[in-house]
Amino acid sequence: MATFRQPGTVLTDHVLAVPLDHDDPAGETIDVYAREVVTGGTPDKPWLVFLQGGPGSASPRPIGRDSWIDRALDDYRVLLLDQRGTGRSTRISRQSLARRGSAHAQAEYLSHFRADSIVRDAELLRRHLLGDDGKWTVLGQSFGGFCAVTYLSFASEGLREVLITGGLPGLDARAEDVYRATYPRVAAKNAAHYARYPGDVEAVRRIAAHLREHDVRLPNGGRLTVEAFQSLGLALGSSTGSHEIHYLTEDAFESAGVLSDAFLAAVEHRLTCVTNPGYPLLHELCYGQGDGATGWAAQRVRAEHPEFDADDPVLFTGEMTYPWQFEVDPALVPMREAADLLAARPHWPRLYDPAALAANEVPVAAAVYHDDMYVDRELSLETAGRIAGARVWVTNEHEHDALRVSSGAVLDRLIAMVRGEV
């Protein structure tokens, strides 16, 4: 258990072996890693465990008291959990999946990396650090909020408080329901972007036309297709994403009429899943519950929105994953068959228990971002109404990344809400 210091903080590593399949506790194990952050020594403060957005993303790597952690450390001992499959926990990667053998074996392995397994990992870690009777606060951002609702559904006895930012899932929504709700929100973000930067309409159209007419390769050898270029719109749901896309596209071409190396390198950095293959593999599985395959729902629902195939203007897409990603991204190509098997899987365990949520006694406070491009506002509010005692703050002051960019203001408000101070 290594401990080291940063300006104003002391960080301690924790690693715990947990079952790959929690229903087979005597079977294969994987490691789960978490980083404890305190202000110095061993202050007698309650624990707060952070559940990162994603899926497939590691927890933050802090430098001192940065971002929301600064506010959290005033009241809590913070635990940054690398969810299974990410960061320093046993990781999902091209190499690790290859060692599983066949695509069927890979898909079976990946089926154990959803929110239900993440929550059971957290419970083992809680008991390891706090004892059986200890309770902690959960802070869930985006997909981490989905995990927090799963936690409330099946293991609320370990919870002291729950704070959720941009992450209240539809309890009964299927993948296609989510995308039918979010495609129009993505279109609205596109409209706002082009209203802010009208010159980008022609700049983006020119790039898309070039991609249709040429075989354009990124530095890693992956093909840059129109669909891949459109997926840069994932950024439009963040506080600075529109500006970033403008700067990316405004000078994409060299004077000779070819796309510049600088542009292609920047696009590759945004598009490759080499560091987080868990995201395209697991994203739609967040919505898999009960009978019925997710079936590449984002691709199917896109066909209901022909505006995303038009060129006047060219619309960017959002937080959707598509089968073509496993054809054009060299980091994902070896995983294509496993991804198809997961998409075709006919049954998934339930992730939420409406009856348990209706009887909830854990204090819950949630921020719902009115114009959230990633997590539908109406589905979030419906869920909030089904969690007993949940308090909700609906705001259009912030985008989905507000926890990270608000210098602790969003977290401060949620802490006050959960304590009944506002």
Distance CA 356, CA 384 (A): 13
CA proximity to 419, closest of 395, 396, 389, 399:
389
**Torsion, CA 285, CA 36, CA 128, CA 404, rounded to 10:** -30
- In the annotation, is 142 catalytic? yes
Total residues belonging to the chain: 422
Distance CA 227, CA 341 (A): 22
Supply angle C-alpha 74, 76, 81, rounded to 5.
Answer: 125
- In the annotation, is 372 catalytic? yes
In order of 170, 178, 383, the CA distances from 216 in angstroms are 39, 32, 44
In order of 68, 363, 374, the CA distances from 378 in angstroms are 26, 22, 12
CA proximity to 78, closest of 188, 157, 194, 163:
163
Measured over the CA atoms of residue 411, residue 160, residue 141 and residue 79, the dihedral's sign is positive
- In the annotation, is 400 catalytic? yes
Q: 200, 242, 400, 401: which is the annotated catalytic residue? A: 400
Given a contact cutoff of 8 angstroms between Cβ atoms, the answer to whether 401 and 407 are in contact is no
CA proximity to 321, closest of 332, 307, 310, 305:
332
User: Which position has the token pair 């089968």?
Assistant: 323
Given a contact cutoff of 8 angstroms between Cβ atoms, the answer to whether 384 and 352 are in contact is no
Tokens of 193: 């972007």
Beta-carbon contacts of residue 178 (< 8 Å; ≥ 6 apart): 170, 287, 297, 376, 379
Given a contact cutoff of 8 angstroms between Cβ atoms, the answer to whether 394 and 164 are in contact is no
Given a contact cutoff of 8 angstroms between Cβ atoms, the answer to whether 268 and 149 are in contact is no
Q: 82, 121, 200, 372: which is the annotated catalytic residue? A: 372
Cα distance between the two ends of the chain:
40
Residues forming the active site:
142, 372, 400
